[in-house]
Amino acid sequence: MAEREIGVGVIGYGLGGRVFHAPFVNAVQGLRLAAIMQRKGDEAAKAYPATKIARSVEELLADKSIELVVVSTPNETHFALAKQALEAGKHVVIDKPFAATSEEALELGRIAKAKGLLVIPFHNRRWDGDFLTVKKLIAEQAVGRLVTFESHFDRFRPVPRENTWKEAENPANGMLFDLGPHLVDQALALFGAPAAITASVRADRDETAIEDAFDITLSYPEKINGVPAANGKGLLAHCRTSYLACDNAPRFLLHGTRGSFRKHGLDPQEPALVAGAKVPAQGSQEVWLQEDESAWGTLTVAPNPADPGILVTCEVKTERGDYRGFYANVRDAILGTAPLAVTPEDGFRVIRLLELARQSSAEGRTLMVKF
């Protein structure tokens, strides 16, 4: 049990606030969903009748019972709202992207540090079941020494949606800053900082105002400045997204010296929540989602690498994903009982890599990575 209850205010009740934030804040012990800012409408009030509904940011920030503010608003507003909340003395969680530029990300970190507060990127996909499975397999060297890592997050949306800020032309919008933060953060969490980046960031659809596809390759060479890499050999990590993927690629594909792992399909938490699933309270007997066996990945290995014609394939049970883990860690970090799992430095590095991806694509060349 938490030492005390932490009041939380969520700014915004679109898809992010409704699906990814309010349900998990409400389910984590030691957190209290004190307020939701929804400028118009009564959806939040109907979903959370015991929670205060604020109609302005100023009203929410004036609530002294709120220690933690969640920013879940259009991308271009993240920096200004997070800065306003920090200056009001609140800890802040920022939905992806952490900021529109790496300089903004650094400034948020500086403000938070000066005020003794936490500013936290919402990189919840570290708590996806498929990612946790991949993390476990890599740690176990299930495919031998990993050589290539592919991470896809594909969609099929050939015609832009109308009346949504996500399709509006803005450097903070588009797939690079929408799904890019998830894929790049997962690669950084697994492998650390790359030595180089090569990218193609594109607008593939017939009509679009945003970047709707990208291919990013993060290079981890055998040696960096003459120093051997941690695994002794090189590794390439590919992060890819397309809005024209009618037949989706594997979510994860790993190749190594002993075999391969292939996993299709996305973590089931988001679609379940969109469909109306309720997140059980942390500590209750009710079990949160377990991916159906039909979606498990397959591990194919050569028991004897000298005889690669003989292969053995088995299904790998997907680890249970649980976004409550993100907010449980935020709670513990605020209470001082655990270090942050996702730091502002993580947020900065992701945004800087996305900037470098855009530059690499524009210049048609590989760029060295320096943070």
Q: Could you tell me the end-to-end alpha-carbon distance of the chain, in angstroms, rounded to an integer?
A: 38
> What is the fold of 126-321+353-368?
Dihydrodipicolinate Reductase; domain 2 (3.30.360)
Q: Residues in the chain, how many?
A: 371
| Rounded Cα–Cα distance for residues 228 and 94 (Å) | 36
For 358, the token pair is 């855009």
List C-alpha distances in Å: 65 to 5, 53, 70, 328.
10, 14, 14, 19
What are the residue boundaries of the structural domains of the chain, listed by start?
6-124+325-340, 126-321+353-368
Burial-class residue 225 by CB neighbours within 10 Å (0-12, 13-18, 19+): exposed
| Rounded Cα–Cα distance for residues 26 and 69 (Å) | 14
- Cβ partners under 8 Å of residue 65, min gap 6: 7, 34
| Rounded Cα–Cα distance for residues 351 and 271 (Å) | 26
Instruction: Name the CATH superfamily, with its identifier, for domain 6-124+325-340.
Output: NAD(P)-binding Rossmann-like Domain (3.40.50.720)
Q: What is the pLDDT of residue 305?
A: 86
Q: pTM of the entire structure?
A: 0.93
| Rounded Cα–Cα distance for residues 67 and 86 (Å) | 10
| Rounded Cα–Cα distance for residues 57 and 255 (Å) | 48
Helices 180-191, 129-139: axis angle to 10 degrees equals 20
Q: What is the pLDDT of residue 287?
A: 87
Yes or no: say if 259 and 301 are a contact pair by the CB < 8 Å rule. Answer: yes
| Rounded Cα–Cα distance for residues 67 and 61 (Å) | 9
Q: What is the pLDDT of residue 225?
A: 47
| Rounded Cα–Cα distance for residues 133 and 129 (Å) | 6
For 193, the token pair is 């900082």
The 3-state DSSP class for residue 64 equals coil
Helix ranges (H only) for the chain are 15, 22-27, 43-47, 57-61, 78-87, 102-115, 129-139, 175-178, 180-191, 269-274, 324-335, 344-363
Strand partners, 66: 7
For 92, the token pair is 């802040």
Handedness of CA 317, 318, 324, 327 (dihedral sign): positive
- How would you write the pLDDT of the chain (371 residues) with one tens digit per residue? 556 899 999 999 999 999 999 999 999 999 999 999 999 999 999 999 999 999 999 999 999 999 999 999 999 999 999 999 999 999 999 999 999 999 999 999 999 999 999 999 999 999 999 999 999 999 999 999 999 999 999 999 999 999 899 999 999 999 999 999 999 999 999 999 999 999 999 999 999 999 999 999 999 987 544 444 545 568 999 999 999 999 989 999 999 999 999 999 999 999 999 999 999 998 888 989 999 999 999 999 999 988 988 999 999 999 999 999 999 999 999 999 999 999 999 999 999 999 999 999 999 999 999 99
List C-alpha distances in Å: 258 to 68, 234, 250, 300, 309.
46, 16, 19, 9, 12
C-alpha R_g of the chain: 21
| Rounded Cα–Cα distance for residues 78 and 351 (Å) | 13
Strand partners, 366: none
| Rounded Cα–Cα distance for residues 263 and 259 (Å) | 14
